[in-house]
Amino acid sequence: MDKQTILASLTPEVVDKFRMAIELGKWPDGRKITAEQRETCMQAVMVWEHEHLPPAERTGYIHKPVKEDGSIVGAECDVEHEHHYPNMPNPKGAVQPVKFRNK
């Protein structure tokens, strides 16, 4: 399923139900959520939040404190790394992982 198809089918109410199912491990009617359903719900919530919410309001947001000199703690990780783009073989500016040989 592509991003636009997911976004077209989601409303804030549906996203809230997905969040609740993820948190509780069951649907509103009491049925247990499967691992596949949990993964699908998490992906849908992340896509919807990325499109509709500012970063500070998204699930998993971590506030970065500001140092006395005005710089942000952890800002050096705000550059593109390979873990930001797991489906791209070599995004522009990504740090490439070190590959070890098996002995």
Which pLDDT belongs to residue 102?
A: 57
Which pLDDT belongs to residue 73?
A: 77
Q: pLDDT 10s digit of each residue in the chain, 103 long? A: 677 887 888 999 999 999 999 999 999 999 999 999 999 999 999 989 988 888 888 888 877 888 889 887 776 665 555 555 555 555 555 555 545 555 5
Q: What are the structural domain ranges in the chain?
A: 1-92
Which pLDDT belongs to residue 68?
A: 87
Q: Kindly state the greatest CA–CA separation across the chain.
A: 54
Look at the block and give the residue holding tokens 């942000």.
72
Which pLDDT belongs to residue 39?
A: 93
Distance (Å, whole) CA 97 – CA 100: 10
